[in-house]
Structure 1
């Protein structure tokens, strides 16, 4: 019964990951279409290009999540996770999110700069949040690497 349940859960994770990949590819295709469609429109190309870059970065993050689901939940034994690998995966996802937030901030800066300067508060906060994410990631990396080194030194002794 346990094997059947494990097979069922692995199948569900695989199905969810494949759906995420298909949806990401659709987002990427739509982003490229939007850029091509905006070429003849004066003043729309750069904002659409930046929005499309943001959409593609988000799509890459979604694909990374799907890859993680397939590797960790379908193929690997869930009991034998390496903390270093978990740190790398988390780092990759946070970096992609930070890039997406930064790009979104840039898109809104261009929009606010052409429409209303009072709207610059929101993109400024987005850029601030992306900076906080980068600093937080650095602190996390430092703390987790220090803990890993301490654990390795305890094992050697």
Structure 2
């Protein structure tokens, strides 16, 4: 029964990971299409810079999606879950949160450019997005510090218990 559950779980994670990768590739393809379209077939106006920034943002989001799919495959399909170490979890969380922060700040940059060309009063929302990105990085720094202190204590505890 346990093997059936593990197989079913792995199959579901595999389907989800493949779906995420396909969606991310679709986003990148569409970004390339819109970028090429504006580069070669349309006038270079204010829309040009907005489209390029939006495409960059979309590609960054796609990378985040692919990273989540990779994490699912590595952690939920290929790896024995009991072998996970706190350092590995911290590194994975750090990587994902940095990508999320970059994506949020890119969205803020795109919206700042768009709002700045229309009405200065519209800059509040993009500014909040960039502030949120900064807060994510600050929170990540605090998390890194606290978790590394805990890892050091755990490592010292294992050294004192170990018979070596």
TM-score for both structures, normalised by structure 1 = 0.97
Which ranges of 4 or more aligned residues in structure 1 deviate by more than 4 Å?
A: none
1:33 aligns with 2:33: yes
Q: Encode CA deviations 1:92-131: one digit per residue, 9 max, x unaligned.
A: 1100000011111111111111101100100110111111
Tell me the equivalent position of 1:144: 147
Cα RMSD (Å): 0.8
Post-superposition offset of 1:2 = 1.2
Tell me the equivalent position of 2:19: 19
1:8 aligns with 2:11: no
Q: Encode CA deviations 1:24-79: one digit per residue, 9 max, x unaligned.
A: 00100101111111222322111111111111111101101000110111111112
TM-score for both structures, normalised by structure 2 = 0.93
Q: Which runs of 5+ in 2 are unaligned?
A: none
Q: Which runs of 5+ in 1 are unaligned?
A: none
Tell me the equivalent position of 1:88: 91
1:113-132 aligned at under 5 Å gives the runs 113-132=116-135
- Looking at structure 2, the residues matched to 38 and 118 of structure 1 have their Cα atoms a distance apart, in angstroms, of 28
